[in-house]
Amino acid sequence: MLSLLRTAFATVLVASALPASALTPVATPLLDNGQMIVVTTDGWDATQGRLQAYARTAQGWQPHGAAFDVAVGRNGSAWGVGVAPAPNGSGPQQPGEPVKQEGDGRSPAGMFRIGPAFGYAPKVASAMPYQPMLESSYCMDVPDSKYYNRIVDADVVGADAVEGSTEPMRLDLHNKGDVRYREGFVIEHNPNAVPRRGSCIFAHLWRTPGEATAGCTAMQPEHMRGLLAWLDPAQRPVFVLLPRAQYQRLQQDWQLPALPKAAR
């Protein structure tokens, strides 16, 4: 989701320097990444998925904890803008496969860096950079805004700057106690904030089990707490979301863990 904040959350999240034109830019193979969260689905239109965390060991990628169910976009998933080792500089998209756009209700597929954690509490049990959300915190999903795909503080940038945003980060205060953003972390989709390519992509809680999202990945609170406690920024964690057929097609090129037999 965003061009993410690593310093003062009052203004923005810091963007990674990736080619804005690339669907999934070429990156160094995953030799420096020690943690990976993998979500697989049954297909592009599936709204449910299965999440498995992996840690790199001397023997390669090994599962961390048990797999569990998650919900994804209400219209499924579509290729997003992230980072992944693409052979010969080519992208992973095949003809006829969907591409993520703003407001399409699809979760971005691909490989993405994991950004800061966020939530309603002053702090959480996590080594990840963390920013407590304020009533004035918004993620900008307005494509023409100069703050597009960034989390900003309306008290800092001004109320006019967040006009039109549908993403207040304190959903509990703006939407009758909504718990979804009580705990979560940023999925760094579209880090260069290319207009209309999709914004504000998070892993967050679900309100009711299995409830599909507007484009994020949602889960039970205990599973989120487990991930936040495990994630370590020194391990350069990445988030992978793919339909299983695409996962199997790209597994070797992207150096992905082998899926458990039950998930293939």
Q: In the predicted model, is pLDDT for residue 9 greater than 70?
A: no
pLDDT in tens, 104-131: 999 999 999 999 999 999 999 999 999 9
Q: Is the pLDDT of residue 2 over 50?
A: no
In this prediction, residue 21 has a pLDDT band, given cuts at 50, 70 and 90, of: very low
90 pLDDT above the threshold of 60:
no
What DSSP string runs through the chain? --SB-SS-TTT-BBPP---TT-SS-----TTS--EEEEEEESSTT--EEEEEEEEEETTEEEEEEEEEEEE-BTTBEEE-------GGG--S--TT--B--TTS--EEEEEEEEEEEEESSS--S-SS-EEE--TTEEE---TTSTTTT-EEEHHHH-GGGGTT---BS-HHHHTTT--TTSEEEEE--STT--TTS----EEEE-SSTT--BSSSEEE-HHHHHHHHHH--GGG--EEEEEEHHHHHHHTTTTTPPPPPGGG-
